[in-house]
Structure 1
Amino acid sequence: MTDALALHGLVKIYGDKRAVDGISFAAPTGKITGVLGPNGAGKSTTIRTIVGILTPDEGRVDMFGAPLSRESLRRVGYLPEERGVYRSMTPRAFITYLARLKGVKAADARARADQLLAAQGLSAYARKRIKTLSKGMAQKVQLAAAIAHEPDLVVLDEPFSGLDPVNQRGVESLVRDLAASGRTVIFSTHVMEHAERLCDRIVLIANGKKAFEGTVAEALAVVPASATIETEGAFDLAAALAPHGFRTESGGEAHGHRKWRVALDGPDASRRLLAACASANAPLALYEPARATLHDAFVRIVGEGVIGDME
């Protein structure tokens, strides 16, 4: 599979700060790639360099198999982190205008605007001034305008920021549809759930450096298997399991139950854990395999302190 986008050793320096420090990664054609990291990690600087707004101090960006150029940027749709629309225009006129700037014929631009507004559930607002729309609606209009020229590569900087859960799901659906149609999507976010649901590949940036690149499954694989257990009353499961070699963390108490997380080391660890609980007469109220999350994975990769404000 070819890569629609490849970054090679990008460096961007502001004063004495290396905002981006030697970042390299690739975005495969037709796939969804998420760039994750806490605020200030270097995500937006990386995104702006990808779309040619910033020039790297070192390294290069290749797009569609060649160095970044005006020609390749014509095939890109970009949603910036800073939201901005012409508020006195209508959604239909704004989307049509942006499509025309990208070289789409007038009739095709109007048809594309109508199609995108319908897909976003905004047909009823097509001829209302954008300044009368909610923030979420205006943001969806800007996103529609970014893809009105049917770009091959869609670059979205924090596309879910400021949206309520309903509109976030709508944007997720649009991202999936873009990839299903063969387009390449790359988006930045500090909310790991979006990446976990959407991405074929993820890149974690911390302190301006790439800390991880791979699939969601590869990231989750760094988290050791574990089980979630709830015991009744004041039973001390950690003390009961220690002689059996299990590492146990307390998860607090709720509704008369104590919660525990037990590391499962070895192929038969789950069986051995249940046997140890039985031999200790542990009053189990719940036993289930714990599902690893990207948060768990990234804490192991870079540490809790670096994760910062990631959700």
Structure 2
Amino acid sequence: MKQLVKLWERPSHDGNGFTYYLLYTDENGKRKQKSLGHSDARKAERQRAQFERKLQMGKVEPGSLKLKDFLEDSLERTGNQIRESTQYEYESAMMDFIKKIGNMDYRKVTLAHGEIYRQTCLDKGNTPATVVKKLKHLKRLFQLAVNRKQLYENPFKHIDMPKSRKKKIRVYSDAECRSMLKNAQQYCLEWNLHYRPQWDLMIIVALTTAMRRSELLNCTWNDVDFEQQVVNVTPKENTKKTWRWDIKDADERTLPLTDEVTQLLVDRQNRQPEGYPYVFVPVARYDYIQKLRDQGKWKFSDSRLKVVNNFTRQFEKILKTSNVKKGQFHDLRRTAITNWFANGMSEN
């Protein structure tokens, strides 16, 4: 594809330096130049590529944008409206599609290409559920292009998804829950809570409120209303004391607490040193995360995945000592919700 934007090193008046300029032709065929105001080569090339993509979307023939450029443009337009993890999944799906179909013009993608890709993934050994996930990501990217008037129709609109058998929801029995709590208490006694989470309390709160793992780990004392006996699930801003965190699906809500859980939280707060805002983040871990933040090494996605080190490994150890076969922390949420329905709660 012909390069629409070029870089020009314009010498300074004294001849001792230069400034990068963008050279391009506008929609009326007039040659233009735009100063970038610096002499950083890498930064200038990045700006040139970004400006070229914008020109491509507005002035080149439909179908001339390759899939890789289409992906970059789409993610750039979407920005931080979606999670970093979702951006990564979109990118992985598109790059896998390109690997199998080729880096073709995005407007030339058809339903047939989607069907070939689907079968190739299945032949490669991907599970039907994995293939469905990839196809949904691709479908969403092309739908965004339709919404932005870049395409007339989504080529994945009518694609048939592979049939997959739904997995049985894992629900812990009352006996398993009791065993988990007993062994979680013992696990906490063996370790200084300065370094490890209070697992027994976290499990009880999860079974009581059906809060997700990241919701628990990003819960602060300001979220707990002891007088009303409720906990508020709210997003967090990036402040001196807290890191930015967003709730899945923007699902803000207020959840009731039992007398027992409220008292356990009171006891927990009384034991925790002042100046530590998070309910379940160990003191030593909080101090370490604050150092990472000061060094610029803490990313937005870390608030969902890295608040507590070896979280899954620790929980699996509790399951093992409790003689509970196969399970995840998220199954506590499923157990709580199942119990609510069993006790007469309606979907409304």
* TM-score bracket for the superposition, by shorter chain length: under 0.3
Provide TM-score, normalisation by structure 2: 0.24
Larger helix proportion of the pair: 2
Q: Judging by fraction of residues, say which structure has more strand.
A: 1
| Structure with bigger gyration radius | 2
